[in-house]
A and B are shown apart, each in its own frame.
Chain A
Amino acid sequence: MANLKIRIDELHTDKIIAKGFEFRVGRLIEEWEEEPGPTQMPNIASLRDWDRKLLSKYKPFYLPFCELCCLCTMGKCDLSQGKRGACGIDMAAQQSRIVLISCTLGAATHTAHARHLLDELIAKYGPDHPIDVGGASVYVEAPNIRLVTGIKPKTLSDLEDALEYCEKELIHLLAACHTGQEGDNIDFESKVFHAGMIDHVALEICDIAQISAYNFPKADPEAPLADIGISVIDPTKPTILVIGHNVPPSIEIYEYMKKAGLEDSIELCGICCTALDLTRKTSKAKIVGPLSHQLRFIRSGLADVIVVDEQCIRTDVLIEAKRVHAPLISTHYRNFQGLPDRTKDSIDEIVKDLVSAQVPGVALLDSEKVGEVAVKVALSVFKKRQKFKAIPLEPEVIKDAKRCTRCGNCQRVCPNYLPIPEAMLAVANGNLEPLSNLYEACIGCGRCEAYDVCHQGLKPHSMIVGASRLKMEQDRFKIRIGRGAIQDTEIRAVGGPIVMGEIPGVVAIVGCANYPGSWKDNAIIAEEFLKRKFIVTASGCAAMSISMYKNEDNQSLYEAYPGIFDAGGLVNCGSCVANSHISGALIKIASIFAKRKLNSNYEEIADYIHNRVGAVGLAWGAMSQKASSIASGFWRLGVPVIVGPHGSKYRRGLLGRKDIKEDWYVLDGRTGKRVYVGPTPEHLFISVEKKEEAMVLIPKLCMRPSDTTKGRAIKLYHYIDLYTKFYGILPDDIHLFVRTKADIPTTMKEEVIKVLEEKGWKESEIPSLDPTLLSKFVRVKG
């Protein structure tokens, strides 16, 4: 409830006589029918035991990406091979400290995003604007917020207290990273989990606020399709490109276009999550692609004005904008780009200076002003620029390739060591194909073009794009726009089948676009699991990459599969902040389907999810610190996350040891008896190198102690089937997952029994259907 203001015109009591008496109460938090549980607004210490319980099963394997510590002036210190730094820190603590810094950065970024967005929405729509993420079909509107803070938000201003809690916790987390603070790696890891939990609260604040205020789709499984791809942009129109994550300025651009009757006269397109969110507002907006498309699209010259907000924006965007003579508007104080702050200047003056190129760009911190300026500048510079581009034409690519000496420097600085020199040789001989074949694998970082990399002054990234004109012309796909939350009714329908294992799993394909190979790999993985009737959820750049692929019927997966949260559904929740709906759905399974208390009851809900909800995250192209904090929010809920090979640079895995039987006991909540349940799920965080490895791991990591025999047989079927498909052999750990013969998939009985016999497998006792890691949740002590 917003600020409460009470005015009493006249008051007469036996002690007081007052006139025009007015007073104000800060905010009233409305209590809900459920009493708070034991973990309301937990601090760093509150959930330490739960974290340690998980971390005793999933121990960190550290991968020092840097062996030195250079954080204080006593350093640099070499921490390798058992050495300690000048402050006393060892390698394990240092690596976990860096993980904490990463996750705190990520959570702080989302929290700051939430602060900016909420302030702006409250200013525009008022503090009493109701939270509505799905009308009557979403009663539990804020599962993360309710679970962590105990707040049941009804209005925008109700989100303030949850946000203040996040801000406070983040300060403590960051302080723990200072020299001379925490020294134990497992305690650092617990703080990492805390950062992740905070992150999901902040994500949820962002998305439910913008869904409510901007009237984005409200948990709509049939949210409409939008255009995505470079070639969906009409080059005959003035074009405004928006990049980033914080959508208000972009929405004001659209509002101004609408007001001026220019909706069909200007192309409004975007890159990254701002684009995803903009399509939730208007069908007139188009998506260029994920963040890896920034350089290639800016250099294509199609954008007449570039508007940036915050996060995942190339920090050299001003340099690139200047190259194609496109004015840049920075709309956020977290991303000034060195530009003059013209917020207080008149619109006409700003427009004049940008159109005449008096300045290459401006900072403009007023979203409404951004709307008008961007549109007016786009209309004026459109003809003048004539879509000036910085990408070579094919004859120029061939001419340049002839100068390549095959020194290999470009390949050696490429994150994916793409075989550029070989491709250059082919191009020099007139064959553009090998270079064009790198188009989908190039992440668009531009490191190959940095100073002194190519001694011939070649620009390999631009040459790859220049050689790929035909591919770019085919860059035209459909994406289902972000639907937001999962309906309570959907949760009720699938809760049972998920917990029993009959829906084999929920796969969340999320994260950035730092792919180790083609961006299409994400779609290939998604398609595999859609065909197998998993629930596939998506968000952010990964949701975009899934769309940029056509199946055998020439459809994108969003056209081919429904958007419902059910077996075989492809659920695009929205931008990065919509990851909170994925964690939220898992929390809702525990609270709505299983009727576990939700209010401030983190441990019990996480324990439930970890032991019963077969869900796994896949961030195949994870790149950012935000991606690490999103992952850590899932870890604290006990949900495994797989990352691609570049994810190994996050500096550690959280790996189970299936060979240590003692690690895989749970308590039966009904009797208190210790029960061996096998390595389910085997890991909490792992990086793998090839998409086939990820595809084999997904069904394996969806196994849970609570699986019924039917459910376990279904999950085992997918695990064994994919394993044999990709590796050509049966898995050698089947015996760890088969509890009774009824667990064996019917169609695989003969070969599985043979493996079990070889392993000396014996039928174990009837598995616990009420598994818990914590003795406090045992109802009757055994």
Chain B
Amino acid sequence: MKGLISEPFQKYEIPGPIKALVISKPKVVSSIIKRAKNPIFIVGHESTKVELNGKKPIDYVIRMAKASDIPVVAVSNTAREFLKRDFKPKALMASMEIGNLLTDPNWSINGKGPHDIALILGITYYVEWVILSGLKSFAYNHLKTISLDRYYQPNANWSFPNLSLKEWYENLEEIARELGVMEK
């Protein structure tokens, strides 16, 4: 994985001493999802911003969510893109709203008990940075976070390093494939 450096993409968003573990192999993510009791996917507008070979990151999200039955929270205007793809998110809300709800150990979106894993993709970089920081300090007893964004998010528990577009897509593809295999 070229460019395996774990520094914030926005250079001045320096975190505290506890930083995200770098996801060196996509299988790490699929294994965590497999073990999770009640994961949740939070997906923002940047999931539709880029395209490679006719696919957008949101397409991988849908594959992963379907394969592992993960409820998806669409951050507001991402909803339309999900609906275009015949996928109905479990809920629509602002990134700050879902962040706040996840600090509550008794809350879940699907009534299946508290969420233990939050997968995040496509939130504005610096907004995701502070929301993950909030979860790091106010949800650490019950929730682990995984950023599946292209750029390193130091406040998650796990994050990709800063990746090229191609590398990012390869990682997302592998996770989606792994989850699909496990599903069978």
Stretch of B24-32, B51-59, B125-133, B170-178 at the chain-chain interface: B125-133
* Contact-residue size bin, chain B (C-beta under 8 Å from the other chain): 35 or more
**A61 CB-CB contact with B under 8 Å:** yes
Considering the chains assembled together, what is the distance between the CA atoms of A659 and B109 in angstroms? 11
**A261 CB-CB contact with B under 8 Å:** no
Residues in A with CB closer than 8 Å to B141 are 82
Residues in A with CB closer than 8 Å to B103 are 61
Contact of A727 with B137 in the complex, beta carbons under 8 Å: no
Residues in B with CB closer than 8 Å to A692 are 76-77
Residues in A with CB closer than 8 Å to B130 are 63-65, 648-649, 651
Residues in B with CB closer than 8 Å to A67 are 15-18, 133, 136-137
Q: Give 1 or 0 for each of A626-649: 1 = CB within 8 Å of chain B CB.
A: 000000000000000000011011
Q: Is the interface of B mostly helix, strand, loop or mixed?
A: helix
Residues in A with CB closer than 8 Å to B45 are 689-690
Contact of B91 with A732 in the complex, beta carbons under 8 Å: yes
Considering the chains assembled together, what is the distance between the CA atoms of A63 and B12 in angstroms? 16
Contact of B133 with A63 in the complex, beta carbons under 8 Å: yes
Interchain CB contact (< 8 A) of B134 among A63, A689, A729: A63
Considering the chains assembled together, what is the distance between the CA atoms of A727 and B15 in angstroms? 34
Considering the chains assembled together, what is the distance between the CA atoms of A732 and B130 in angstroms? 27
- Chain B's closest residue to A81 (CB) is B140
Stretch of B35-43, B63-71, B92-100, B113-121 at the chain-chain interface: B92-100
Distance in Å from the Cβ of B106 to the closest Cβ of chain A?
10
**B83 CB-CB contact with A under 8 Å:** yes
Contact of A727 with B79 in the complex, beta carbons under 8 Å: yes
**B124 CB-CB contact with A under 8 Å:** yes
Considering the chains assembled together, what is the distance between the CA atoms of A687 and B99 in angstroms? 12
Distance in Å from the Cβ of A169 to the closest Cβ of chain B?
30
Considering the chains assembled together, what is the distance between the CA atoms of A657 and B79 in angstroms? 21
Pick the most buried of A81, A516, A689: most chain B CB atoms within 10 A of its CB.
Answer: A689
**B80 CB-CB contact with A under 8 Å:** yes
Considering the chains assembled together, what is the distance between the CA atoms of A66 and B17 in angstroms? 11
Considering the chains assembled together, what is the distance between the CA atoms of A38 and B127 in angstroms? 42
Residues in B with CB closer than 8 Å to A20 are none
**B10 CB-CB contact with A under 8 Å:** yes
Contact of B77 with A648 in the complex, beta carbons under 8 Å: no
Distance in Å from the Cβ of A67 to the closest Cβ of chain B?
3
Residues in B with CB closer than 8 Å to A690 are 45, 76-77
Residues in B with CB closer than 8 Å to A646 are 126
Distance in Å from the Cβ of A90 to the closest Cβ of chain B?
9
Contact of A649 with B126 in the complex, beta carbons under 8 Å: yes
**A62 CB-CB contact with B under 8 Å:** yes
Q: How many residues of A contact B (CB 8 A)?
A: 45
Contact of B10 with A687 in the complex, beta carbons under 8 Å: no
Distance in Å from the Cβ of A645 to the closest Cβ of chain B?
5
Pick the most buried of A82, A657, A727: most chain B CB atoms within 10 A of its CB.
Answer: A727
Considering the chains assembled together, what is the distance between the CA atoms of A659 and B110 in angstroms? 13
Residues in A with CB closer than 8 Å to B99 are 61, 63
Contact of B18 with A81 in the complex, beta carbons under 8 Å: yes
Considering the chains assembled together, what is the distance between the CA atoms of A657 and B96 in angstroms? 12
Considering the chains assembled together, what is the distance between the CA atoms of A66 and B14 in angstroms? 8
Interchain CB contact (< 8 A) of A687 among B76, B92, B127: B127
- Tell me the chain B residues, 138-160 only, with Cβ under 8 Å from chain A: 138, 140-141
Contact of B138 with A726 in the complex, beta carbons under 8 Å: no
Q: A80-B16, A516-B124 are in contact. Are A653 and B96 (CB under 8 A)?
A: yes
Contact of B96 with A78 in the complex, beta carbons under 8 Å: no
**B60 CB-CB contact with A under 8 Å:** no
Contact of A732 with B92 in the complex, beta carbons under 8 Å: yes
Distance in Å from the Cβ of A415 to the closest Cβ of chain B?
8
Q: A78-B17, A648-B130 are in contact. Are A693 and B97 (CB under 8 A)?
A: no
Contact of A82 with B137 in the complex, beta carbons under 8 Å: yes
- Chain B's closest residue to A63 (CB) is B130
**A688 CB-CB contact with B under 8 Å:** yes
**B44 CB-CB contact with A under 8 Å:** yes
Contact of A412 with B10 in the complex, beta carbons under 8 Å: yes
Contact of A688 with B94 in the complex, beta carbons under 8 Å: yes
Distance in Å from the Cβ of A57 to the closest Cβ of chain B?
13
**B11 CB-CB contact with A under 8 Å:** yes
- Chain B's closest residue to A693 (CB) is B76
Contact of B133 with A68 in the complex, beta carbons under 8 Å: no
Residues in B with CB closer than 8 Å to A80 are 16-18, 133, 136-137, 140
Considering the chains assembled together, what is the distance between the CA atoms of A659 and B101 in angstroms? 10
- Chain A's closest residue to B83 (CB) is A728
Contact of B138 with A62 in the complex, beta carbons under 8 Å: yes
Contact of A655 with B100 in the complex, beta carbons under 8 Å: yes
Considering the chains assembled together, what is the distance between the CA atoms of A166 and B137 in angstroms? 35
Contact of A728 with B94 in the complex, beta carbons under 8 Å: no
Contact of B96 with A655 in the complex, beta carbons under 8 Å: yes
Contact of A727 with B133 in the complex, beta carbons under 8 Å: no
**B33 CB-CB contact with A under 8 Å:** no
**B62 CB-CB contact with A under 8 Å:** no
- Chain B's closest residue to A643 (CB) is B96
**A32 CB-CB contact with B under 8 Å:** no
Contact of B77 with A64 in the complex, beta carbons under 8 Å: no
Pick the most buried of A81, A413, A697, A731: most chain B CB atoms within 10 A of its CB.
Answer: A81
Distance in Å from the Cβ of A459 to the closest Cβ of chain B?
18
Residues in A with CB closer than 8 Å to B123 are 689
Distance in Å from the Cβ of A381 to the closest Cβ of chain B?
38
Contact of B137 with A648 in the complex, beta carbons under 8 Å: no
Considering the chains assembled together, what is the distance between the CA atoms of A193 and B83 in angstroms? 41
Considering the chains assembled together, what is the distance between the CA atoms of A106 and B124 in angstroms? 27
Contact of A688 with B83 in the complex, beta carbons under 8 Å: no
**B163 CB-CB contact with A under 8 Å:** no
Distance in Å from the Cβ of A237 to the closest Cβ of chain B?
41
Residues in A with CB closer than 8 Å to B10 are 412-413, 417
Residues in B with CB closer than 8 Å to A253 are none
Distance in Å from the Cβ of A83 to the closest Cβ of chain B?
9
Distance in Å from the Cβ of A351 to the closest Cβ of chain B?
42
Distance in Å from the Cβ of B86 to the closest Cβ of chain A?
12
Considering the chains assembled together, what is the distance between the CA atoms of A317 and B136 in angstroms? 39
Contact of B44 with A689 in the complex, beta carbons under 8 Å: yes
**A79 CB-CB contact with B under 8 Å:** yes
Contact of A61 with B100 in the complex, beta carbons under 8 Å: yes
Residues in B with CB closer than 8 Å to A415 are 126
Contact of B12 with A413 in the complex, beta carbons under 8 Å: yes
Residues in A with CB closer than 8 Å to B77 are 690, 692-693, 726-727
Considering the chains assembled together, what is the distance between the CA atoms of A693 and B74 in angstroms? 12
**B75 CB-CB contact with A under 8 Å:** yes
Residues in B with CB closer than 8 Å to A732 are 91-92
Contact of A648 with B76 in the complex, beta carbons under 8 Å: no
**A571 CB-CB contact with B under 8 Å:** no
Residues in A with CB closer than 8 Å to B101 are 657, 659
**A605 CB-CB contact with B under 8 Å:** no
Distance in Å from the Cβ of A281 to the closest Cβ of chain B?
39
Considering the chains assembled together, what is the distance between the CA atoms of A79 and B77 in angstroms? 34
- Chain A's closest residue to B107 (CB) is A659
Residues in B with CB closer than 8 Å to A413 are 10-12
Q: A62-B138, A80-B137 are in contact. Are A68 and B100 (CB under 8 A)?
A: no
Contact of A64 with B124 in the complex, beta carbons under 8 Å: no
- Tell me the chain A residues, 62-97 only, with Cβ under 8 Å from chain B: 62-68, 78-82, 91-92
- What are 24 A-B contacts with C-beta separation under 8 Å? A61-B99, A61-B100, A61-B103, A61-B134, A62-B134, A63-B130, A64-B130, A66-B16, A67-B17, A68-B16, A78-B17, A81-B136, A82-B140, A413-B10, A413-B12, A417-B9, A417-B125, A645-B127, A648-B126, A651-B130, A659-B107, A688-B96, A727-B80, A732-B91
What 9 additional pairs, Cβ within 8 angstroms, besides A412-B10, A686-B96, A693-B77? Answer: A61-B99, A62-B137, A64-B137, A65-B130, A67-B137, A687-B96, A729-B83, A729-B92, A732-B91
